[in-house]
Amino acid sequence: MSTKTLINGTKIPTIGLGTWRITENVEQTIDTALQAGYEHIDTAVAYGNEEAIGRAIKASNKNRKDIFLTTKIWNTDRGYEKVLKSFHESLERLQTDYVDLLLLHWPEKTSTENWEAINASSWKALEELYLSGKVKAIGVSNFMVVHLNSLLKKCSIKPMVNQIEFHPGYLQEEVVTFCKEHSIEVEAWSPIGSGRLLQHPLLKDLAQKYHISVAQLCIQFALQNGLIVLPKSTNPTNIKNNLHLPKFIIDDHDMALIKNMEETGWSGLDPDKVDF
């Protein structure tokens, strides 16, 4: 399994199973993924599937230490005390005594009074959980440069990861570059544009050229950009194919073609404008 090393030395498998909107047959999907060789599962309180994921991991023949497990603090639990409480509830649902990576799911919006203090207060709880060893690495999700800049000024421990929407047609270059400059690893959610890219003509042509699927092309594109990638699927064949990519490299010319695609497939979720 290919891994990246976070700034604190924690190893993270470069392909993980995204589980947003997987709320039915969760245990079966996780079992399929674990048996297919996934060692990295990404969940969140907001996905409503922590309990089922916990059951699936327990029921599997895998050692807990061989699975990289991420969860995220939801927006209604911002602030030091609430973050700590939420985290301990996650541990119970996940039936574990630690998580590998804990993220703040969305930044407090810059239009909110005291947004910087709110993000910093949530972050303080993550730092404490990290220092206590209950969390092996800490990070954020959907943080743009403005949110990161603010947090970096106030934190004692820097975020190790930022998980953002990233796929052909939505590259978020400004925040990706900023993260690279600050040794923050970037994780791609919705790497296949939540399925919206599957029929894109250029991607279909390139997939045909490399004898792979559009989904595999999108996953490889994220990997070649240096990201950790979290494709989501409930289909057993797709789950396997998304992890076991044939050995191939998208050449520079084709990487440029994908990079220069028109904006497409965006979820429409602007972290500073969402209403949740």
Contact 139, 96 (CB under 8 A): no
Tell me which long-range contacts 58-66 makes (C-beta under 8 A, separation of at least 24).
58/95, 59/27, 59/31, 60/30, 60/31, 60/34, 60/35, 62/34, 64/96, 66/39
Min dist. Cβ of residue 106 to ligand A2P (A): 17
Shortest Å, Cβ 227 to ligand A2P: 13
Instruction: Kindly tell me which of 150 and 225 has the beta carbon lying closer to ligand A2P.
Output: 225
Largest CA distance in the chain: 53
Out of 47, 98, 130, 210, the active site residue is 47
Give whichever of 18 and 115 is closer to ligand A2P, judged by the CB atom: 18
In the complex, least distance from residue 245 CB atom to ligand A2P, rounded to whole angstroms: 10
- Beta partners for 160? none
| Residues at the interface with ligand A2P (CB under 6 A) | 18, 190-195, 198, 213, 215, 231-235, 238, 241-242
Name the minimum Å distance from CB 190 to ligand A2P. Answer: 4
β 228-230/185-189 pair status: parallel
Q: Is residue 47 annotated as a catalytic residue, yes or no?
A: yes
Please give the structure tokens belonging to residue 30.
């996780």
Return the number of the residue (102 or 212) whose C-beta is nearest ligand A2P. Answer: 212
Whole-number minimum distance, CB 244 to ligand A2P, in Å? Answer: 11
CA distances from 170 to 60, 81, 103, 193, 230 (A): 36, 35, 22, 8, 15
Shortest Å, Cβ 23 to ligand A2P: 13
Closer Cβ to ligand A2P, 83 or 230, answer by number: 230
| Torsions phi, psi for 138 (to 5 deg) | -130, 150
Query: Is the separation of the CB atoms in 232 and 22 below 8 Å?
Result: yes
Report the SS3 class of residue 1: coil
**Minimum CB distance to ligand A2P smaller for 32 or for 194:** 194
Sheet of strand 161-165: strand arrangement: 17-18, 40-42, 68-73, 101-104, 138-141, 161-165, 185-189, 228-230
β-pairing verdict for 161-165 and 185-189 = parallel
Q: For tokens 């309180």, name the residue.
A: 45
Of 29 and 96, nearer to ligand A2P (C-beta) is 29
Three-state DSSP state, 38: coil
Q: Which residues are catalytic?
A: 47
